[in-house]
Chains A and B, each alone.
Chain A
Amino acid sequence: MAQKHGMVENRGAGLWLTHAFMIVGVIIIFFPIWLAFVASTVTQPEIVSPPMPLWPGDQFWENYTAALFSGVNVPVATMLVNSLIMAIGISVGKIIISLLSAFAIVYFRFPGRKTFFWMIFVTLMLPVEVRIVPTFEVVANFGMLNSYSGLIFPLIASATATFLFRQFFMTIPDELAEAARVDGARPMRFFIDIVVPMSRTNIAALFVILFIYGWNQYLWPLLITTDPEMNTIVMGIKQMFPSGDDVAEWPVIMATSILAMIPPVIVVVSMQKLFVRGLVDSEK
């Protein structure tokens, strides 16, 4: 890295200009989040008589306690738990079923293997938004409205993860499977002792991506959680706006928005390397 830019100009004024440009960029990109944070620390009157302040106030605890423990329709703490269960359910569920089916497709020859492979491939193409009405009917017929399984299962019916694992399993040296077979190891032993441990970086990277995907779902929870107790936080924010002419409780709504972005931001920032890797892999 040190001699990377060695010969190309980037010293003195030029360097400061570059930093200045980046800082301005970061400030502009960050402004919406900053403003939401400020709004979550001031009083309602300060917001409804514009312009609102641009520096945080002293109502942090009041607003966040109000949001977490009473909310508008339902305490935000409840919505956070729902979101967490949904996001973890989607990521863990998808990773498990994909590991299993990728293992079957790569390490076995069985009748109908090709058909299954193409069947999975087709599911890559259709986002839930497109088949929304019939999927809703299926879930309703199963009595899965307002349930965690209704939130989770329809969103793990897609094949991206299976494909990633398949690609990765193809790179595992044949000698390992050969040795396992010579030792008389059962396929599942090989899977648990060799394949899964070797895939842990891929699993972690995929977890980051899927967690964010699950946490940020909006349309699906909006349709199937009619009971406020089952609302997820991302879809619940919109429900906090009053209908008609009432004035929205901005400090509480903005505190909820901040709470809604904290878990995915923590995941993305703390697992940045894995996240970038997961992104690049899952788009390949």
Chain B
Amino acid sequence: MEKRVTFRGWLLPVILIAPQVLISAIFFFYPAGQAVYQSLFIPDPFGLSSQFVGLGNFEFVLGDKFYRASFVTTAIFSILVTLCSMIPALFLAATADRLIKGSGVYRTLLIWPYAVAPAVAGVLWLFMFNTRVGVVSWYLGQFGYDWNHVLNGGEAMGLVVVASAWGRISYNFLFFFAALQSVPRSVIEAAAIDGARFWRRFFGIVLPLITPTAFFLLVVNVVYAFFETFGVIHTITSGGPQQSTTILVYKVFADGFIGQDLGSSSAQSVILLFVVGLLTVVQFKYVEKRVHY
């Protein structure tokens, strides 16, 4: 797609794009290039010089059992976050869609959590499940369940999943609700006349019609779980206990800034870069389908 009518000159447009090009070059291309460059070297212990190791850092990282464990952790984490945020959102949207009046009020209330930063969400959930003062953990204790996400890796995972999924319910709700509202009423009414009950209509007719939205949300939520949940993990578990909640993005941070292992951290950045590229391609494919739908 190109404009037919354009203005003449080349100096003005170059000046116009200069700010974006400069900022991208300094804060994007140069650092990204550095990440690739550093991933091929190992700095000496004093940081004075570095030695070229080719793909050595990648071999080391991919052979590291903690890194491979972090891959598995990230996969489990993102699948759970995606499910825990999409399923409740879909049910809430389907219910709100049945209302003629009042769905606006519910929508206003339900979008609140979206505005809450992941790191703040982390603090809120940490407060509820805090082992000393948490309300939920106290009531669980009354029922004889001894909640301790500081020691129990499974509980820690559960907590970061719920805290990460919480705000995403709002987001998914908005998209599902918009999709449900655009399902033609005549189709649903025809099924109703044929005697199909609500849930039958929902699974048989409505759900297939909104699959494009669902696929789109699936990809977007996985991307979110991969890259935007750092705040939740850092506030609640700091990757622990025993790295059971160390997702890939957290590991880049932990190895690069806490462990000061630049070579390994850069190699991880480059690996993540490929993951992002892959997810972006998938995302564009689905988005394209959605547009043509």
Contact = CB atoms under 8 A, between A and B. Distances in A.
Contacts of A133: 35, 38, 252, 256-257, 262, 265-266, 269
Interface string B252-290: 110011000010011001001100110010000001000
27 contacts: A9-B192, A25-B106, A33-B116, A36-B124, A50-B138, A98-B20, A104-B12, A105-B13, A119-B29, A120-B24, A125-B276, A125-B280, A127-B276, A130-B272, A130-B276, A134-B34, A134-B38, A134-B269, A135-B27, A177-B6, A187-B12, A216-B119, A218-B117, A250-B127, A254-B127, A260-B120, A284-B291
Q: Which of B107, B110, B171 has its CB near the most chain A CB atoms (within 10 A)?
A: B110
A14 to B, nearest CB: 8
Interface of B: 1, 3-7, 9-10, 12-14, 16-17, 19-21, 23-24, 26-32, 34-35, 38, 88, 91-92, 95-96, 98-100, 102, 106-121, 123-125, 127-128, 132-135, 138-139, 166, 169-171, 174-175, 178, 185, 188-189, 192-193, 198, 216, 220, 227-228, 230-231, 234-235, 249, 252-253, 256-257, 262, 265-266, 269, 272-273, 276-277, 280, 287, 291
Interface in A35-80: 35-36, 39, 47-48, 50-52, 54
B9 to A, nearest CB: 7
Given A9-B198, A19-B99, A134 B10 contact: no
Given A130-B227, A133-B262, 11 more contacts: A50-B132, A52-B135, A100-B19, A101-B17, A126-B28, A153-B23, A177-B3, A178-B5, A216-B231, A253-B127, A272-B111
A133 B38 CA distance: 10
A196 interface: no
A48 B107 CA distance: 35
Contacts of B230: 129, 218-219
B123 A104 contact: no
A107 B6 contact: yes
Interface SS of B by simple majority: helix
A10 B252 contact: no
Contact of A120 (B20, B88, B108, B120): B20
B257 A129 contact: no
Contacts of A110: 9-10, 13-14
A26 B252 contact: no
A219 B231 contact: yes
B249 A129 contact: yes
Contacts of A153: 23, 26-27
A253 to B, nearest CB: 7
A51 B140 CA distance: 11
Interface string A107-138: 11111010010011001111101111111111
